[in-house]
Amino acid sequence: LFHLPILQSNQPVRTIHTIRTHCFFIVRNDQLERSGVYREAEDMDKPKRQNSWGEEKVVVFVEANDCLSVESKWKVDKQLKTQKCHKCSLPRLKSEKDLYRIDEKSRAEHYVATVKLNGLGPNFRLERLIGRVRSLYILERPLMEDIKKLAVVGCGSMGGGLALLFAEKGLGVLLNDPSEETMDGILSQAKDGGIGDRISKYTDYKTLCENLDSPKVFLFSLPHGSVGDSVLEGLLPYLMKGDIIIDAGNEHYSNTERRQGKCVTKGIRYVGMGVSGGYQAARRGPSMCPGGDDETLDMILPLLRKVAAKDRRGISCVGKAGTSGSGHYVKMIHNGIEHGMMSAVSEAWGIMVWGLGMKYEEVGDTFEKWNKDEQLASRGTFLIDIGANICRTKKSDGSKVLKEVEDKVVQDITGEEGTGIWSNEEAVELHIPAPTLATAHFLRLASADRAQRSRVKDTFGGDFPPQKLEVKDKSAFLEDLRLATYAACLAAYIQGINEIEEADRMHKWNINYAHVLQIWRAGCIIQADYIADMLQPIFAEFETKDSMNLLFEKSVAQDLKEAQPSLRKIVIKALEGDFVVPALSASLEYIKYSCSLDLPTQFYEAELDYFGKHMYDKKGDDPEGKPETGKHHFEWKAA
């Protein structure tokens, strides 16, 4: 095989690196020196020459799916030159449509085709390939047979749901969990569902591994932290080069990268994959966010597409997030966005129930209208959709379930959930303002300890209960509330994407934002059809942008600008009535200070210089406004 880089950008096409993948491009380039074909050699800096081609060429390995994602820039010859694969006699490529379908096939087939790239300048970058490409040939072949068996290690609500889902799709599923009772419960459900013959349980790693195919494929659904390390240590003696581990827990990305580093030295493939949608989606089709090396992702994507959620267009909500630990990082930020959106929707619910005196049924009807009206910016938002159902759901005695739910969110305290904490830590570490995400998390923390709140209430001699709101036009007020909720949800998206971009810049993960948006289109908690449709053209062109800060985008800015007056009205009314609205109010402040050039930090900076000699910039002396130490100090008071 021939090898050339796809992992680094801005490298000359003639630089040789060894990577592994399953498809290659033979590129002819007028500007390359006449050096024949670069063959793989012991000394990659001195490649062997092979002049049998009769013309200057260089073999370039890249990942086909990513290259085909720029298909809009390709103009395929009407007279496609095709030939049979030299390895087999599979069908020839017959049309441009067939070429583009390669990306969608569950298994790659052998095709050879000539494609012309027209009108591309010398700086055109096809993934990480630099140079003026005149023509290229594609050969793709399967890396491995379809995955027919996998082991699910960790059979809680998420792992159990995924095990049943994979079995429904025809796979043989081998269960492993410390609790036999848990595994027996899954086996019972499988039997009831007519798929009992596809699921089996194993209590030790040796027997588990002996009953898997080669390569062995594992799906971890484990708590974050040391549990994953213990399971990996237990499995390692039975693993071989080429075996695959898909870590589908809510793991911290740094743990994922550490395990990837440990596995790669043994030739074991380790993918960190975020799974969203909760236990119900795990059973019916979740959103999946895998991160790892391209070759391994190509091997597992056909499997994941079988079970992933489908958006309203029928496209699977799974794709390559990026390399290394990016899959778990993006899922972590997804959960931070989720917390911001949940807080905003819950605050809107509180205003309707306690401020307007609306019955639960009426609130459910309002949420349904917000969610289903095609003209509304709140359209297709999962959290609003389930909000309508929650408001309407009754117990067998006719009473509303919601009425008996205590106001405590304890997952952060009990250790069940770490992603919200990590996403806020990342915002601080990366110097990204994310107030909607942060204040939503603080509300969760305050809510968890109801005993503490009760004691504070006693100390105060009472609390500040929300007041009945006097509104002249209820319909107009509800429309303002809808726009306010939408603005906060959009602000949460913006803040989360900014975190991802800065982390990507630091870690060099090559985040594919188009894939990330597709992953979030269905099956996940932050699904929001209107927002996704608005972001689609922006994310599709992510490679051409100097920044993914959505506040730089006209369409996003226009929506926030139009929603800001409504958000301001709602926050003012809420504050006057003593409502708890941290996400809504933080989002309003975020919009204001993000576009302001006259912040009260002018005085803040002066005080810093006064007591700490921290320096400042003079007005008019810093046209670029970059975050750098100022050049001036004033001796406000002699030391």
Q: Which residues are catalytic?
A: 331, 338
Distances (CA, A) of 269 to 162, 274, 359: 20, 16, 53
Report the candidate in 111, 216, 123 with the shortest Cα–Cα distance to residue 172.
216
Cα–Cα distances in Å, from 304 out to 235, 287, 307, 532? 23, 10, 6, 22
484 and 490 Cβ atoms separated by less than 8 Å: no
Phi/psi of residue 98, nearest 5 degrees: -65, -35
What is the DSSP code (8-state) at residue 310?
A: B
59: number of Cβ within 10 Å: 20
Give the whole-angstrom CA distance, residue 57 versus residue 75: 21
H or E element: which one contains 271?
strand 269-276
Q: Exposed/middle/buried for 569, CB within 10 Å: 0-12, 13-18, 19+?
A: middle
The closest alpha carbon to 325, from 228, 402, 407, belongs to 228
Q: Encoding tokens for residue 246?
A: 């898909």
The two tokens of residue 288 are 């999946």
Three-class DSSP category at 360 = helix
Q: How far apart are CA 418 and CA 347, in angstroms?
A: 23
- Which of helix, strand or coil describes residue 445? helix
Q: Count of residues for the chain?
A: 639
